């Protein structure tokens, strides 16, 4: 493999940062470009202090600005497109999600064709496959089973169409006559230190005397540690640059999970935080079927009020379904084609995440102490 360079869109985010940290350890990598709409001072400092010979270039730009993307892609060998809006609660305007997740991906593909980038790796999600109903039980889903989301909710809909566009672009001709090769990775629910979702869960619990809200006790998922998802991206970049492996990977999508035990989201939150005194709310819960109808009524109310008032329901049918379903996937295809094996064991992942949760606890205690002084 010859010297190469890589652009990571969304490089300042939770997963993007982990990919960058692994990328800079890769042999022959001359430069990694970190592209994000806003890079915080803390993120810039972290990247500037990386112990690597690889050049790290930080770029701020809009994923919908084709000229910006084209400049960012000049001289690049591999694009890892992570940038995305994740919204399962309906908090962000639907058009904004469609613009970033779908139009932004199509513009990035176009920039790659114009700038002669031969490899494009897309970070998709298992939400493009389902679950479609909380009554449906799917375990160890495989790629050849062709599961597909039927939701019109903007997040799964936009990610599904974006993934289709990426895979369809495989084999497209570059401006210089070369060929663009693509693949997509579908991680299951990603956890780990720095997760903004977990951060909000634990900070809310800290305000509630360490009581974790029970919102997903009926689910069965196979959560995946962020370090293992990042590792899968590294392996995909190797495979698509390897003439021997590339033909099997081009135009393919892969489920990415690891050996974290299949468990409910409630149990995962508890496992990450119990050593710090967090506990699960054991109060009686409303039957799932009743919650589903309540969600439907609130969605209808939101729709009817929209011309005069922006009412955002506390939960919706899509959120209920993904958080209360039995839906797990198998990583065997990634194992076969990419040589993927989880880099971090469940015990390592749990320990790293729990240590980070401890830092949130200390931070909370420090805040309380300063308020009382």
- HEC profile of 237-272: HHHHHCCCCHHHHCCEEEEECCCCCCECHHHHHHHH
Q: Tokens standing for 151?
A: 């939701």
DSSP string, 88-111: SSS-S-HHHHHIIIIIHHHHHHHH
Burial of 57 (0-12, 13-18, 19+ CB in 10 A): middle
**Helix, coil or strand: residue 300:** helix
CA distances from 2 to 20, 55, 113 (A): 19, 16, 21
Contact 267, 254 (CB under 8 A): no
H-helix or E-strand spanning residue 22: helix 14-23
Exposure of 128 by Cβ count < 10 A (0-12 exposed, 13-18 middle, 19+ buried)? buried
Give whole-number Cα distances, 362 to 14, 180, 268, 369, in Å: 21, 48, 21, 10
Answer whether 121's CB lies under 8 Å from 240's CB: yes
| Tokens of residue 108, six digits | 């990035």
- In the annotation, is 155 catalytic? yes
Active-site hit among 122, 155, 225, 331: 155
Nearest to 166 by CA among 114, 226, 113, 227: 113
**What is the DSSP-derived secondary structure letter of residue 193?**
T
Q: Is 23 helix (H, G, I), strand (E, B) or coil?
A: helix
Q: Give catalytic residues, as residue numbers.
A: 155
């Amino acid at each position: 493999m010859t010297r190469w360079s890589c652009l990571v869109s969304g490089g300042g985010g939770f997963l993007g940062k982990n990919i960058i940290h692994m990328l800079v350890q890769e042999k022959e990598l001359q430069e990694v470009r970190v592209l994000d709409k806003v890079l915080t001072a803390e993120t810039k400092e972290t990247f500037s202090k990386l112990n690597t010979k690889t050049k790290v270039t930080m770029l701020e730009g809009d994923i919908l600005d084709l000229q910006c993307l084209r400049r960012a892609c000049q001289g690049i060998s591999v694009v890892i497109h992570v940038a995305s809006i994740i919204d399962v609660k309906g908090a962000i305007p639907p058009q904004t999600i469609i613009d970033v997740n779908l139009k932004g991906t199509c513009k990035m593909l176009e920039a790659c064709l114009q700038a002669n980038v031969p490899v494009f790796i897309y970070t998709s999600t298992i939400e493009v496959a389902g679950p479609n109903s909380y009554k449906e039980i799917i375990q160890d889903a495989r790629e050849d089973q062709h599961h597909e989301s039927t939701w019109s909710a903007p997040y799964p809909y936009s990610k599904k169409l974006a993934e289709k566009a990426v895979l369809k672009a495989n084999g497209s001709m570059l401006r210089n006559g070369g060929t663009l090769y693509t693949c997509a990775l579908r991680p299951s629910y990603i956890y780990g230190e720095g997760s903004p979702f977990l951060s909000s869960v634990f900070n809310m619990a800290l305000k509630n005397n360490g009581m974790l809200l029970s919102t997903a006790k009926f689910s069965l998922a196979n959560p995946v540690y962020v370090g293992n998802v990042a590792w899968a991206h590294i392996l995909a970049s190797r495979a698509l640059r390897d003439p021997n492996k590339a033909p099997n990977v081009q135009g393919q999508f892969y489920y990415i999970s690891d050996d974290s035990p299949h468990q409910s989201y409630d149990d995962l939150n508890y496992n990450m935080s119990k050593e710090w005194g967090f506990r699960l709310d054991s109060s009686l819960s409303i039957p799932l079927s009743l919650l589903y109808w309540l969600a439907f009524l609130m969605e209808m109310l939101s729709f009817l009020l929209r011309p005069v008032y922006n009412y955002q329901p506390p939960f919706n049918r899509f959120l209920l379904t993904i958080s209360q379903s039995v839906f797990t996937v198998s990583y065997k295809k990634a194992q076969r084609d990419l040589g993927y094996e989880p880099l971090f064991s469940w015990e390592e992942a749990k320990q790293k995440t729990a240590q980070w949760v401890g830092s949130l606890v200390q931070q909370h205690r420090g805040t309380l102490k300063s308020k009382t002084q």
